[in-house]
Amino acid sequence: MRLNIFTVDAFAQKPFTGNPAAVVPLIQTLQDSTLQDIAKELNLSETAYVSPTSASVEEDKSQQWGKSSRFSLRWFTPTNEVPLCGHATLATAHVLFHHLNNNHKQIEFETKSGVLLARKLGENILLDFPKNPPGELHPSLRADLAGLVKATVGDDLPVKELKISHETKKLLVRLEDSCTRQNLESLRPDTGILMSLHDGSVIKGVMVTLRGNLALHKKEEEEATYSKDNKEYHVLSRYFAPWNGIPEDPVTGGAHTVLGPYWSEELGITKLKCRQCSPRGGDLDVTIRSDGRVDLAGQATTVIQGYINI
CA pair distance 143, 95, nearest whole angstrom: 44
CA-based end-to-end distance of the chain: 5
Q: Residue 108: which of 89, 85, 135, 132 has the closest Cα? A: 89
Please give the positions annotated as active site. 46
Distance CA 200, CA 215 (A): 33
Q: How far apart are CA 15 and CA 39, in angstroms?
A: 21
